A and B are shown apart, each in its own frame.
Chain A
Amino acid sequence: MEVFLKSLPAQIANGIIVGAIYGLIGLSMLLISNVMKLVDLLRGDLAITGAYLCFWLSALCGFPFAVSITLAVPLTGVLGLVVERSVYRPLARRSHYAPLVAALGLSIAIQGALQLLFGPEMIGFEQTPPLLPKVAEWGLIRLSRLDVILVLSFVLLTSLLHYFLTRTRLGLGLLAVADDEEASYSCGIARNKVYSFSFFVASSIAGIVGILYGLQYGLEPGAGFGLTIRAFIIASLAGSRGVLGAAIAGLALGVVESVCTGLLGANYRDSYTFLVLLVLLWIWPEGLFGRIQKRYARI
């Protein structure tokens, strides 16, 4: 217990760092689940694909890292758009299960393709300039450049998305479709354009998450699964409170995981996460930030 108490502040700091990744992938999932009313099981795989794209551009094609990120993020967005147009949109209206099954199949196919192209082993980004040296240290809390970039990206993207959804015409259109698809359609909002746009934005965010994840933990073709699960949990916890809810739920999930690992050990880390989710959803079925009857009222 003495070791745990001593390490508690550092565990919370670690939780915030990993929670920033969770929060962003949760935002990406929430954007899609609220607008299109579907659970996208490809979120994590798209994120990892974005990271591999960045790796391919930087390490194999020789582009500078900043250029690679600039190219890989919109490319991941386009990839998401292609999935939406060619898989989700045609299948979504046929049955509830068809998009889920298609997403599962695609997830396996993406992992297989990544394994074929880049090999099954873990790869790491060449970091130029190095991102791991520390920038600050207080007791057991030690922050690297990458940690700072990660948290700043989280704050920036969350704020931008919040601003976009509440202050711009396109964002308000997106909210309208999420709120009431039929009513927004009768008001002249082009539903399909909103779907495509939300998929592009959500997949671009997933691309950023993948790159940050790859820089922090290395890349493996199967790494997307864990991210998808976390995204799913956060979307459930965030309920209808959208951007803010997903951000807070992501950070909370990261902190719970980290503190529980510090206290109880790493072996059953995923079990703690799901146990916490189960208890929270049992108490608040609409999610931590949900409203009682409107499950998917706002983004």
Chain B
Amino acid sequence: MSSINKFTFVSLSLVLAVVFIFSDCSRKSSESKRIQVGAILFETGEAKSYGIKSKRGYDLALKWAKSRDLSLIPDILYADSGADESKGVAEFKRLTEVERIRFIVGITGSGVAMAICPLLREKDVLVLEALDSAAKLTDCAPNFFRIYPSDVIQGSFLADWALELGWKRAGLVYIHNAWGEGMQEGVENGFTSKGGQILVKEGIQQNLTDFSSIIVKVRAAELDGLFLLIYPTGARRWLEQSTARGLVITTLGGDALTGTEVAQAGEASNGLMFSAPHPGEGREYEQFVEQYMKEFGENPDVYATKSYDAMRLALVALNELQSDKPQAIKRFLLAMDTFEGAAGPIRFDENGDLVEARYARYIYENGEAILVQQNTEE
């Protein structure tokens, strides 16, 4: 290499290095003004529809913030747990350790959240959850807040509904995870404490595909009704297989049956009843429904509404504080007066749980979940 070539090479390298360093610095400095929040959703797996609904809710909350000229609108970093606990933990570590995120709005799936709780206790990270209901999450971590009511209340709500229907002998099929076990406990305690009997109780794994043995058991037990506390894809399989195996029984399910997968069972879903948190009412709710309808051409379900509320509350907190410091947000959430969400008022107790829980009853007719009654419980 001649001396000129050497000189050119060294000069060019220096120029490139300087450009690279400066461009990186400027990128970092512009990035430092942007706050990022994380979200660990179900984008794949048993209940993929939850992830779709949550994202829609978040998008509309961001639009709401822009329409009100809020100064601090964060970027959302999405992660997918696929309803798998170990994957959820890995994504939580990535978001908090690699991406340095301090505020997570949504860790969908009680099982996933339960797996993350021990890590959350050791980190300065705040979680504001939209859809998790497991009773055990009350003791998750000091920095865990949720706007979805605990399963203990829903279980008792379902048990009362069953007793109203005149059930005395019931079966219970539930999924073996934090959500399913919480619901099972709530339903069983509520039902048996008021004179009901659970004659068939089956805990199942999440990926079970063949329900025929359980269906035969339920048929043989000649029950008044069945509590079906499983995820929507499993529920679709259950409904299709129970129709094929000749099981005709009044069935009550939990809020997981809101998932669109259930309706794909077609006629087999007709008559299936389930409870879910109150869908909402009032001006906030009407505005949200109108906006949702305009954007997505359908009515929002409770998951979309709750996700919208969680992100909106997060935006209010971030803008009020102009910071994403977890302890500051925690103080804000505990001290705030009632926040008027689209799905109803939000106020937290000292454990980060909702003070007030409201439920509604639904029934599937022609592939659509129809609201039949709204109730309020505290």
Contact = CB atoms under 8 A, between A and B. Distances in A.
Contact of B236 (A11, A14, A122, A142): A122
Contacts of B202: 265-267
Contacts of A11: 213, 216
A115 interface: yes
A21 to B, nearest CB: 9
Interface stretch (A77-85, A102-110, A132-140, A187-195): A132-140
Interface of A: 3-4, 6-7, 10-11, 14, 17-18, 115, 120-122, 124, 132, 134, 137, 140, 142, 144, 146, 216-218, 222-223, 226, 257-258, 261-262, 265-267, 269-270
B317 to A, nearest CB: 33
A146 to B, nearest CB: 8
Contacts of B221: 3
Given A3-B217, A10-B216, A265 B246 contact: no
Contacts of B15: none
Describe B's contact surface by its main secondary structure. mixed
B264 to A, nearest CB: 7
A146 B212 CA distance: 14
Given A217-B209, A269-B205, A262 B44 contact: no
B233 A121 contact: yes
A150 B25 CA distance: 65
B261 interface: yes
Interface in B220-274: 220-221, 233, 236-237, 240-241, 243-246, 261, 264
A266 B240 contact: no
B213 A266 contact: yes
B45 A217 contact: no
B209 A223 contact: yes
23 contacts: A4-B220, A6-B220, A7-B220, A10-B219, A14-B212, A14-B216, A18-B210, A18-B212, A120-B44, A120-B45, A122-B237, A134-B244, A140-B219, A146-B244, A222-B207, A226-B209, A258-B212, A262-B213, A262-B216, A266-B211, A266-B213, A266-B214, A270-B205
Given A7-B220, A18-B212, A258-B213, A265 B203 contact: yes
Contacts of B48: 120-121
B204 interface: yes
Contacts of B236: 122, 218
B371 interface: no
Contacts, number: 90
B237 A267 contact: no
Nearest to A14: B212
A122 B240 CA distance: 13
B176 interface: yes
Given A115-B44, A121-B48, A266 B212 contact: no
A216 B48 CA distance: 22
Interface in B72-120: 82
A222 B206 CA distance: 13
A120 B84 CA distance: 14
B1 interface: no
Interface string B116-155: 0000000000000000000000000000000000000000
A7 B82 CA distance: 36
Nearest to B45: A120
Given A3-B199, A134-B246, A142-B246, A217 B217 contact: no
Nearest to A131: B244
B372 interface: no
A-B pairs with the 7 shortest C-beta distances? A261-B213, A7-B220, A120-B44, A132-B244, A10-B216, A14-B212, A217-B209
A52 to B, nearest CB: 16
